[in-house]
Amino acid sequence: MAIVTISTHMGRKVARLHNLREPKVTDKEPHIRKDGHHEVWLDIAPEKAYKAIFGKAVERYNNRQTREDRKVTDYYKQVCSDSKKAPVYEVIVGVYPQAGTLSDKEQRAILFEYAKGWKEVNPNMRMIGCYFHADEQGAPHIHLDYIPVAHGYKRGLDTQSAHIRAIEEQGFRTQGKTTAQMAWTRSENERLEHICKAHGLQVTHPQREKGSEHLQTKAYKAQKELENIEKSIKRSESVAKRAEKVATDKINELADLEEAQHMILFVTKARTFNPDGSIRAVRDDYSAFCEKRGFTPIQAEKLNGELVEDIEDYSFHLE
Ligand SMILES: [Mn+2]
């Protein structure tokens, strides 16, 4: 199971040409891979969207005006020139793997679900653009552009483009240190988290943990470490088994050797009665025997020493 962090970054900066991958703009953006994948899920020009959303309100307002100069001719332009407002807002949504992996396809599915569910929970935030970018450095993400729509104004148009009012109309209120905007952002994060969980992902909140590594991530890493340790134990066990076999072979070889020693002693006994036989001759025979059996010089020397002692003992008894 992959562990991810999520983010819904809300902002007033909308770069439609970047989102649409307009070459004039993206040619100057080196972080975009030319051969990368991107999709346009929805794209309505803001001017057009403003006419569709506020056209009727503009009409109602203009019909009430007696003075021609008070009539609204272009509501979009009016909002653009209002320093307190942005005509279009944007949320950048991403799912970022912290441990484990997540395919582009899976990321796309989650983000698509998020975008698809937008309309139902955000009736006041009219989506006019949605762009899937899997061609930038880092994880795939979407840019979701929307126009905030608030109703019930007594002054000016009865329906206006107004971010905070639109959020409040959706039921979010400022409470203590939590602003309506923060509450709404949190609710969108929870919605995304819910989708991630439905896709079998674990979601961590490193920022809530104030930069410390999340316990779930730690647990995941510990689990992986344990698996690695288990693997290395298995490897050690098979090494031990092989070593045991080598040891058994060596013991068998030593048993053979002991037998050979007895044989040599037997030969020595025979040579004692032979005027040409000597201890030295037996020792040379034995050295050759060790060499043939593949013993190291030290092993051979040690055994040799023992053998000589044995032979000397034996000779003594014979006298
Ligand atoms: Mn992008």
Q: Mean pLDDT across the stretch 245-271?
A: 71
The answer to whether residues 233 and 239 touch, using CB atoms and an 8 Å cutoff, is: no
> What pTM did the predictor assign?
0.64
CATH of the domain at 86: 3.30.930
* C-alpha of residue 99 to centroid of ligand 1, in Å: 23
* C-alpha of residue 31 to centroid of ligand 1, in Å: 10
The verdict on 63 and 195 lying in the same domain is yes
Q: ∠216-221-222 over CA atoms, to 5°?
A: 95
Q: 43 forms bridges with which residues in the sheet?
A: 129
* C-alpha of residue 220 to centroid of ligand 1, in Å: 30
pLDDT for 209: 58
The verdict on 77 and 156 lying in the same domain is yes
* C-alpha of residue 262 to centroid of ligand 1, in Å: 86
* C-alpha of residue 142 to centroid of ligand 1, in Å: 7
Q: If 0-12 CB within 10 Å is exposed, 13-18 middle and 19+ buried, where does residue 84 land?
A: exposed
The answer to whether residues 201 and 2 touch, using CB atoms and an 8 Å cutoff, is: yes
Q: Which two tokens stand for residue 140?
A: 């795939």
| Cα separation, 229 vs 251, whole angstroms | 32
Work out how many domains the chain is built from and give that number: 2
pLDDT for 278: 52
Domain limit, last residue, from 143, 177, 212: 212
Domain limit, last residue, from 188, 212, 236: 212
pLDDT for 86: 92
The verdict on 260 and 305 lying in the same domain is yes
pLDDT for 274: 46
The verdict on 282 and 203 lying in the same domain is no
* C-alpha of residue 208 to centroid of ligand 1, in Å: 25
The answer to whether residues 223 and 272 touch, using CB atoms and an 8 Å cutoff, is: no
The verdict on 233 and 198 lying in the same domain is no
* C-alpha of residue 19 to centroid of ligand 1, in Å: 6
Distance (Å) of CA 118 to CA 127, 144, 145, 192, 289? 8, 9, 11, 10, 88
The verdict on 119 and 141 lying in the same domain is yes
What is the band of 319 on the pLDDT scale with cuts at 50, 70, 90? very low
Sign of CA dihedral 184, 185, 189, 195: positive
The verdict on 230 and 205 lying in the same domain is no
Q: If 0-12 CB within 10 Å is exposed, 13-18 middle and 19+ buried, where does residue 228 land?
A: exposed
Identify whether 237 is part of a domain: yes
* C-alpha of residue 76 to centroid of ligand 1, in Å: 25
Domain limit, last residue, from 212, 240, 272: 212
| Cα separation, 234 vs 248, whole angstroms | 21
The verdict on 47 and 174 lying in the same domain is yes
Domain that holds residue 145: 3-212
Identify whether 218 is part of a domain: no
The verdict on 110 and 7 lying in the same domain is yes
pLDDT tens digit string along 77-86?
999 999 889 9
Q: 3 forms bridges with which residues in the sheet?
A: 99, 202
* C-alpha of residue 270 to centroid of ligand 1, in Å: 97
Q: ∠209-214-216 over CA atoms, to 5°?
A: 140
* C-alpha of residue 103 to centroid of ligand 1, in Å: 18
Residue 312 reports pLDDT greater than 70 = no
* C-alpha of residue 108 to centroid of ligand 1, in Å: 14
Identify whether 92 is part of a domain: yes
